[in-house]
Structure 1
Amino acid sequence: MDSLLKIPPSTPIIRPSIQTPGPYQETCNDKYVVKYNFADLDPEEATEELKTLLTDLEEAGLQTEVRAGYDETLLIFVKAPRELLGNTVYKSRVKDWLYGVVHDHPGGTKNTVVDAHYESEDILSVYHLVHWSKEHGGAGIHPGIGQWKNVEAIFPLHNQRANQKLLSHLSKRFFLTAEDLDKIRDIWGSKIAFYFAFLQTYLVFLIFPAVTGVVAWLALPKYSLVYAITTCVWCTVFVEYWKLREVDLSIRWRVRNVAQVKTNRPQFTWERVVTDCAGRKHYFFPKWKQVVRQLLQFPFFGIATAALGLLIVSVFAIEVLISESYEGPYKFYLEYLPTVLLAVALPYITSSLEGVASALTQYENHRTEDNHERALAQKVFVLNIVTNYLPILLTAFVYVPFGDDVVPWLEVLIGKVLGKVLGQQQFAKRPFQADGDRLRNEVIALVVTGQISGFFEENVVPFVRHRFSGWWREMRRLRHSRDGRGADLMSLFDDDPDEAAFLTRVRDQSMLRDYDVQEDIAEIVLQSGYLALFSPVWPLIPLGFLVNNWIELRSDFLKISIEHKRPHPVRTDGIGPWVYSLNMLSWLGSISTAAIVHMFSTSGWGPARWASLPITIFVGEHVFLLFRTLLCFLLNQLGSPQIREERSRLYATRLQRLEELEANKRNGLGLTAAERERRRSMRATGGDKLFTRQVEEGVSAAVGVDLIRRFKEAAESKKKK
């Protein structure tokens, strides 16, 4: 903090262009906060960089004011004046109309100022003014990129009053209505609202497999074919219904095909700029180069899969050896301890691999943020399949059918290592017999442990970390006050009494993590994969998911409100590439479910069982494909209220336009009688130059009369002769 005290108190740094404290405390829709960290800069360099930052913001028409933040940071409050904000909202609507996102022109002129329909529409416009490049009318502030590497973050302010009101409302409802989702969209934008809509739809659909799962667990035999078929049908119906629901909501929120208006990512590099016939600039990067770069993901997946597979196989082997051969104390706890530890460690391992995947995706050089997220999501999905489903697949298709050959070899290999730790006498030499219940126990251990650890990782750990960091800052401040440095530190926070509470909240928000909705969507997609692939193993899986997701729906809203910075209200028209992941999981589920029921529904592992397995998989897969095709046809025929309403609205718009043309035609567009006659003649002639010349000169009648006179004179002259 000492370096801040050395910065000359020149007027260009603290610019009192925002009236405080009222606007800060009363409104959140017209403000953003830029967090600037100067810890690694000397005072002169920090001063010049800060002046440049403020100048760029003000050149975009924004008002700025600077306050001290925690540690060696500054908080730059940015406000969009009423005229600028309203005009930016209007231009955004016009752009949506130009690119076909909406079909009705908003009216007005280029200087029109309008009010936003909801809060996040205003905040999105402020985000554009701060984040977009100068070419597009913004300040071009990109945190951590280029000249703004010392800008830690830009974020809007939480509307605590609206958050608390909506949280109180949601806590009283078992299911969310479309109006509740509208309110979430109004606060956080369509991208976050689509996640809650997806989670809500999934939660409603879970009721059916939860009920049938309890019935199957109580009344049906293990690995029931009836329950397996019912669950496969449910998974297919859920995926296809969500596709329709996604389109429905995108029309309702007026964001369908909104990807057409997305600008370039600041990290995107292009080779040349092409201008089309409409004057639009297209930034071109060769597609073949991007495809070549994308090929690097295949060796990455190969290495990651091999490494993760080796780790999972090792844990699996240790667990099998303990459960089948170990006869020492605490066997009940040691038997599934490796799987529990693996389930706890996998999120951290996956996070490290996702960092590599993110670097590869960055190297692929995607133009828009949507394309970048789509490519990254595909890599994360593949990693999740390997880390979460491989242990169960090994148990189902390696341990149980081939355990007689594999486990004795593992006893010799691993028993030597663990025998030194636990004692050779603890390992009994007895004939191996595969445990048919092990697959179910494996699924229970991974699913339950994963849900519990995920809840603590998402909700408890961030809350404790945030509380601890606040306690640590306060302890450090008290320690500095005792050694004489506290006075200098506190002088930086000499806040106006009317601003103090508000500024403390903003400083706390600046220390929170950014919220990434893709992580939460990936969690739900992964959860649905357990249900699609392994539901016959343990029919109570959907019941546990139903309880977990009901809590998740409320805790996620609280998590975003308290544990994260307010997310940018970015617009999307769905959950992005995760729809394709759901499609793939439902297809894989038809194969996995058919194989599991075929292999485990009856005892015995004879050659006939293996010989008929490909036939079972083939039939199950093709029945699934046929059912999905028929379901898609039926749902498309039924449509949805929003789709039908949009079609009716488009028809009404075209009909109104046609009537206007007919009216203009009847009224002659206000032309004189002579002009209407001339245009009628022009249309009749089809543009022939001879007729056009006579019509324009207005001599048709005179020429005819003259020709008659001349013919008569010629006839009289001939008679006289």
Structure 2
Amino acid sequence: MAHPYAKPQRAPTTYNDKYVVLYDFGDADHNEAIDEFKTLLQDLEEAGLDTEVRPGYDQSLLVFVKAPRELLGHAVHKSRVKDWLYGIIPNHPGGDKNTVVKGDYEAEDILSVYHLVNWPKDLGGAGITPGIGKWERVKSIFPLHNTEVNQSLLRHLSKRIFLAPEDLDSIRDLLGSKVAFYFAFIQTYLLFLSIPATTGVIAWLWLPRYSLAYGILTSVWCAVFLEYWKITEVDLSLRWGVNNIQQVKVTRPQFKYDKSYVDKSGRTHYYFPKWKQISRQLLQIPFLLFAMIALGTAIVSVFAIEILISETYAGPYKFYLEYLPTILLAVSLPYITTALEDAATWMTDFENHRTADLHEMSLTQKVFVLNTCTNYLPIFLTAFIYIPFGDDVVPRLEAVLQKLLATVGQKFVHVPFRVDSDRLKNEVIALTVTGQLSSFFEENIMPLLKHKLSGWYRDYRESRSQEATLRSIVPDEPNEAEFLARCRNEATLPLYNVQDDISEIVLQFGYLALFSPVWPIIPIGFLINNWIELRSDFAKISIEHQRPAPVRSDGIGPWIYSLDALTWLGSISTAAIVHLFSADKFGNGSWAMLPVTVFISEHVLLLLRVLVRSILHQAGSERIREDRNQRYAHRVRHLEEMEATKRAGLGLSVAERERRKSILVTGNDVFWTKQVEDGASEAFGVDLIRQIKRGEDSSSREPKID
């Protein structure tokens, strides 16, 4: 199926039936590499796949895997039938076990090829799992980028202010529903951001600082956006035919089960006790507490030193010492977070999730908690420790610092402490604006520069090396050189993880939900950033990453719960900030009434969410109603067919009735065959009626005794 954004080509290259397996044998000896490579080709060919081998960079091979038309078409049809059996789609796709069909879009065919390469042999695949088990030297499996379609679609997206549903369909057709849901999420979020951006400008120009009205409007906006997205998610999952797709997810190769069994329908189940999994998952509670304490200790320490030096110290080397906390944090935090993320990875593996989606989500959520602590804790410290209690806390810290400096022979010059009323706003600006800019640079510029530099260095090293390389031994054919150069380049690119991009947007939503009254024009920066982000992320996938397998998803997964939690925390944080800092004397709000304010704000938000959810769910969407009506029509049609069969049985002819009687007589059910055999059902029933009535008449004639 030709993609709507594809341009005509002189020699068209199809991308929907191929995969590339990158095999790196640099750390293997001669015989081991040969045996392993033979096994790789044998497993692929046993799955019915065609293979072609070309040299890659260094000591690696590119195995091009192609699914024959009949095999691919049968796999696509089998996948559709499976979706129908599990209720993912309402209509049977038709055909039989030998049916061969063409994918409705490019990603559908690519997904079937991915299944043929990656799925275990008992499900019809080759069982090639990169980096796992005997395939540790298989670095990746990936489909090739459809470069022309990528460029055409990117040009189209750059000309649109907001994306239409058809644009999201095009992304789904190219990259699959899992990636498309991210773009749908950021697009919906982008549309909604226009509201707080407008109200934020109004609040910044005309309303007082820490405006209660703006805080309430933002909390309402968060609740409405979240409930609207939940409906949009269902609507898109029905539009793309992936609603409840998690029911058909296969078991991860790393899943360690206690036993397996086959049910009556022939399905194989892998059993791992729930109590074991739950007990392992409970270990993340002490882990997250430890991680938060470790990160909190580092951030609080640096925060305290920074305040002391900038606010109270006026001695020598102050200019250099002011940068010391930032340097300490910049140096230590990556090591701390890397160690904690490694621990989170190990713990997620230990939890033994059955599917890849559950494993990925569990790991990403742990990392999200760590990022939340890193990003939000400095603002909370400024808002609820530094400004309200700075007069008490800072002098104590000053005394400790004075003792430490005295031990190294430095004299501490005391400067009277004075709370900086703009520090909270500056903290929010620093962590949002500069954070967005640095994130864009780290995501889009740094990987591109790194990849270019590594490519130049690799070419330089090969040109100076005296050793023979695969490409010098087997040079490329002239008509393949350009194509193979692009394939080798894609093989060196990193894998794309959509969860990282979703996490970034959810963190951004948290800034808006938690701290919007501090600086009301935050949403404008987010609006501009996300408009660019939506397009740059598509370019990032197309240029800086391997093309992801178009695996299917019915939404953004557990990130819904993160948005729920941030919305709830936002109602508390917004109420507390407005209560404390909107008083006439800055930062001198009544602490005694703060719990009351927080309690009222929290429960008002909960009631508001119930109301919004009720209204939006009653309104629903046209597609949800259409799907509900379609499924109801199927059930009604089935009942009507049963009723028609029943009525046809009641209107049998005399000959048909006699035939059925003869069938009953030949049966083994004595209860039914006795009277059928005698032909006395009618006479027997009449006799019963007469006997009962005769008994009633005789009892009515008996004399009554007073």
TM-score, normalized by length of structure 1? 0.88
Match of 1:452 among 417, 437, 441: 437
Q: Describe how 1:299-338 pairs up with structure 2 within 5 A.
A: 299-327=286-314, 338=325
Give 1:496-511 correspondences, 5 Å limit: 496-511=477-492
Residue of structure 2 equivalent to 1:19? none
Equivalent residue, structure 2, for 1:18: none
Give the corresponding residue for 1:495. 476
**Residue aligned with 2:54, SS:** strand
Give the counterpart of 1:470 among 446, 455, 458.
455
Deviation at 1:598, TM superposition (A): 0.6
Q: CA deviation at 1:146?
A: 0.7
The match for 1:439 among 424, 440, 447 is 424
What are the equivalent positions in structure 2 for 1:66-215 lying under 5 Å apart? 66-215=53-202
| SS at 2:592 equivalent | helix
SS in 1 for 2:21: strand
State the distance in 2 between where 1:672 and 1:263 align: 53
The secondary structure found in structure 2 opposite 1:611 is coil
Matched residue of 2:480: which SS? helix
Q: Name the CA shift for 1:449/1:342 in 2 (closer, same or farther; >3 Å).
A: farther
Contact 2:261 2:269 in 1 (8 A): yes
Instruction: Note closer, same or farther for the CA distance 1:51–1:700 as it changes in structure 2 (3 Å cut).
Output: same
Distance verdict in 2 for CA 1:417–1:543, change over 3 Å: farther
Shift of 1:408: 1.3
For 2:387, which of 400, 406, 412 is the aligned residue? 400
Check conservation: 2:581, 2:589, Cα contact below 8 A.
no
Distance 1:27 1:333, change over 3 A: farther
Aligned to 2:694: none
How has the CA–CA distance of structure 1 residues 248 and 58 changed in structure 2, closer, same or farther, with 3 Å as cutoff? same
Shift of 1:374: 2.9
User: Equivalent of 2:519, from 533, 538, 543?
Assistant: 538
Report which stretch shifted further, 22-31 or 674-683. Answer: 674-683
Partner Cα separation in structure 2 for residue 454 and residue 419 of structure 1: 41
Matches of 1:640 and 1:340, distance apart in 2:
52
For structure 2, the 5+ residue unaligned runs are: 1-8, 685-706
Letter in 1 for 2:191: V
Structure 1 residue 681: deviation in Å? 11
1:556 lines up with 2:526 in the alignment? no
Q: Which residue type is aligned with residue 624 of structure 2?
A: I
| 1:295 corresponds to 2:276 | no
Does 2:265 align with 1:284? Answer: no
Give RMSD over aligned pairs.
3.0
Structure 2 CA distance for aligned equivalents of residues 690 and 362 of structure 1: 61
Say which is worse superposed, 269-278 or 28-37, in terms of deviation. 269-278
Structure 2 residue identity aligned to 1:286 = P
- Give 1:409 deviation, angstroms: 2.0
2:227 equivalent among 219, 224, 240: 240
Where does residue 15 of structure 1 map in the other structure?
none
1: distance between equivalents of 2:357 and 2:650?
46
SS state at 2:518 partner: coil
Q: 1:578 aligns with which of 540, 559, 571?
A: 559
Query: Can you list the C-alpha shifts for 1:236-270, whole angstroms capped at 9, x where unaligned?
Result: 11111111110110111110111000110010010
1:489–1:111 CA distance, 2 compared to 1 (3 A): closer
Q: Is the CA contact 2:580–2:588 (under 8 Å) kept in the aligned structure 1?
A: no
Say which of 592, 596, 618 aligns to 2:573.
Answer: 592
Q: Do structure 1's residue 619 and structure 2's residue 600 form an aligned pair?
A: yes
Query: In the alignment, which residue of structure 2 is the partner of 1:601?
Result: 582
For 2:205 and 2:246, locate their aligned partners in 1 and report how far apart those are by CA, in whole Å: 49
* 1:672-711 to 2 correspondences below 5 Å: 674-675=655-656, 689=670, 692=673, 695=676
- Aligned-partner residue type, residue 432 of structure 1: F
Letter in 1 for 2:172: R
Q: Following TM superposition, by how much is the alpha carbon of 1:410 offset from its aligned partner in structure 2, in angstroms?
A: 2.0
Return closer, same or farther for 1:605/1:212 CA change in 2, 3 Å cut-off.
Answer: closer
User: How far 1:95 moved relative to its partner?
Assistant: 0.8
Instruction: Label 1:489 to 1:368 Cα distance change in 2 as closer, same or farther (>3 A).
Output: closer
CA distance in 1 between partners of 2:682 and 2:285 (Å): 85
- 1:315-358: CA deviations, max 9, x gaps? 21122113212347997997688459857975675344222211
Q: Match for residue 614 of structure 2?
A: 633
Q: Are 2:334 and 1:353 aligned?
A: no
Partner of 1:275: 262
Give the 3-state SS of the residue equivalent to 1:103 in structure 2. coil
Quote how far apart the aligned CAs of 1:182 are: 0.5
AA matched with 1:44: N
CA separation of 1:24 and 1:472: change in aligned 2, threshold 3 A: farther
Q: 1:448 Cα deviation (Å)?
A: 1.7
Q: What is the identity, as a one-letter code, of the residue corresponding to 1:393?
A: F
1:702–1:459 distance in 2 versus 1, CA, 3 Å: closer
The answer on whether the counterparts of 1:377 and 1:578 sit within 8 Å (CA) in structure 2 is no
Aligned partner of 1:478: which letter? Answer: S
> For the residues of structure 1 that align with 2:285 and 2:151, how far apart are their CA atoms?
46
Alpha-carbon distance in 2 for matches of 1:690, 1:267: 57
Say if 2:503 is the partner of 1:518: no
Following TM superposition, by how much is the alpha carbon of 1:300 offset from its aligned partner in structure 2, in angstroms? 1.7
In 2, the alpha carbon distance for the partners of 1:510 and 1:136 equals: 27
Map residues 368-387 of structure 1 onto 2, 5 A cutoff.
Answer: 368-387=355-374
Preserved contact between residue 316 and residue 338 of structure 1 (Cα < 8 Å): yes
Q: Are residues 665 and 429 of structure 1, via their aligned partners in 2, closer, same or farther at CA, if it must alter by over 3 Å? A: same
* Bigger Cα displacement from structure 2, 469-478 vs 533-542: 469-478
Deviation of 1:453 (Å):
1.3
Q: Could you say if the C-alpha distance between residues 377 and 127 of structure 1 is closer, same or farther in structure 2, counting changes exceeding 3 Å?
A: same
**Structure 1 segments unaligned to the other structure (5+ residues):** 1-21, 705-721
Aligned-partner SS, 1:443: helix
Cα distance in 2 between the residues matched to 1:579 and 1:701: 65
Distance in 2 (CA, whole Å) between partners of 1:138 and 1:636 is 41
CA 1:420–1:82 in 2, change beyond 3 Å: closer, same or farther? farther
| Cα deviation code 1:341-387 (max 9, x no counterpart) | 85797567534422221110110101111221232233123212211
Any conservation in 1 of the 2:59–2:470 contact (CA below 8 Å)?
no
Question: In 2 relative to 1, CA 460–230 (structure 1 residues): closer, same or farther, beyond 3 Å?
Answer: same
Map Cα deviations across residues 512-549 of structure 1 (whole Å, 9 max, x no partner): 00000000000000010000000001111111111110
What is the aligned length?
A: 674
State the secondary structure of the residue aligned to 1:282. Answer: strand
- Take 2:414 and 2:682, find their aligned partners in 1: how far apart are those partners? 124
Aligned residue identity for 1:558: A
- Provide the rounded CA distance (Å) in 2 between the counterparts of 1:671 and 1:500: 76
| Partner secondary structure for residue 283 of structure 1 | strand
Superposed CA deviations along residues 674-707 of structure 1, whole A, max 9, x for unmatched, are 2366559999xxx984664564x69669999xxx
Letter in 2 for 1:436: S
Q: 1:370 to 1:675 in 2, by over 3 A?
A: farther
The structural deviation recorded for 1:279 is 2.5
SS of the counterpart of 1:498? coil
Q: What does the per-residue CA deviation read over 1:592-641, in whole Å, with 9 as the maximum and x for residues that have no partner?
A: 00011111111458998111111011001000111011111111111111
- What are the superposed Cα offsets for residues 452-509 of structure 1, whole Å, 9 maximum, x if unpaired? 11111100110001100111111112212xxx546x5542451111111001000000
SS at match of 2:61: strand
Q: CA 1:218–1:339 in 2, change beyond 3 Å: closer, same or farther? A: farther
In structure 2, the CA distance between the partners of 1:105 and 1:111, relative to structure 1 (3 Å rule), is same
Could you tell me how far apart the structure 2 residues matched to 1:692 and 1:522 are?
Answer: 71
SS across alignment from 1:105: coil
Distance 1:345 1:187, change over 3 A: farther
